[in-house]
Amino acid sequence: MTDTSPSTMTMASAINAGLRAAMERDPKVLLMGEDIGALGGVFRVTDGLHKDFGESRVMDTPLAESGIVGTAIGLAMRDYRSVIEIQFDGFIFPAYDQITTQLAKMHYRSRGNITLPIVIRVPFAGGIGAVEHHSESPEALFAHTAGLRIVSPASPQDAYDMIQQAIACPDPVLFMEPKARYWDKGEVDTSLVLDKLSDADATAALGRARVARTGEDVTLVAYGPTMRIALQAADVAASEGTSVEVIDLRSLSPLDSATVIRSAKKTGRAVVVHEAPTAYGAGAELSARITEEAFFHMEAPVLRVGGFHTPYPASKFEHDYLPSLDRVLDAIDRVMTH
């Protein structure tokens, strides 16, 4: 009998365990990507799966991102569920055409006759001192495209649950993994997602935001890589007498607007934090929605804290580029003074 008691895992190990659970349940779940086989991936997220499931289900691919996505689309038309890994966020762009013009539109174009249950795993964002093209935040480019789901876990437990929900979902899912959080540890209850999820259950679960911390004065919205800084900011603000409610979006597309709006109406103030540039990003979309739906409840404009509208800098400058604790606290102070 399998031991399903909670255990401490890194986020990388939790994704590995979630992939393993999905593959054990469904023999049509396949993994594909560059170096994910015997090597176990650059970040070792797929470590051991090639040995246990064989090369017919865990496949090393050529360095051809467009070809990887195109192959997954063909397999999906034959009822397979492919989980493909883009080795680094900056290398997803050769596959942009396949993702936005084929993967995102095939269900609509076929009037619902074709579904493409494909998961694209993308190690994304910064904080690891990587070289050029290895620390990008392209999520808004894909969230703008109808037909794709964009999700990002912020804890090992969510990583374990959400990768299985994504695989069970009938829609294509970009699973954005905050690479600087791969080694964060947390308790994971592996009994939560064991039975085969229905399409409806998986789809609903993937789209829900989470209130990570309750508060009364300010709503702080974050996801994936910035959840750690958001919770730290809430702790510091509390020590200075400001009660911050922290929302973990989990899903960027679709957005769980109801949870965010409900919180913003309660607190009357909101700050959105993400690593991607603030210009034209997820924070802009959230700011617009809060303004449209909660305008008469707000005591101050919605503020955004994010990366600057420049190419991602050299690694020694990335901590000047990324949202810092001081920048988040400054935004909280500014909305509190209105």
Closest CA to 165 of 139, 204, 191: 204
Q: Give every CB contact of residue 84 below 8 A, 6+ residues apart in sequence.
A: 31, 32, 33, 68, 69, 72, 118, 119, 120, 121
Tell me phi and psi for residue 29, to 5 degrees: -85, 120
The residue whose two tokens read 């259950």 is 201
In this structure, are residues 156 and 188 in contact, taking their beta carbons and an 8 Å threshold?
Answer: yes
CA distances from 296 to 175, 245, 259, 299, 302 (A): 35, 19, 17, 8, 13
Element (H, E) at 2: none
Cα–Cα distance for residue pair 274/323, rounded to 1 Å: 7
Catalytic center residues: 134
| Contact residues for 100 (Cβ-Cβ < 8 A; gap 6+) | 142, 145, 148
| Sign of the dihedral defined by the CA atoms of residues 296, 298, 301, 302, in that order | negative
Indicate the SS3 state at residue 31.
Answer: strand
**Which of helix, strand or coil describes residue 284?**
helix
DSSP 310: S
CA 288, chain centre distance (Å): 21
Q: Would you give the DSSP letter of residue 98?
A: I
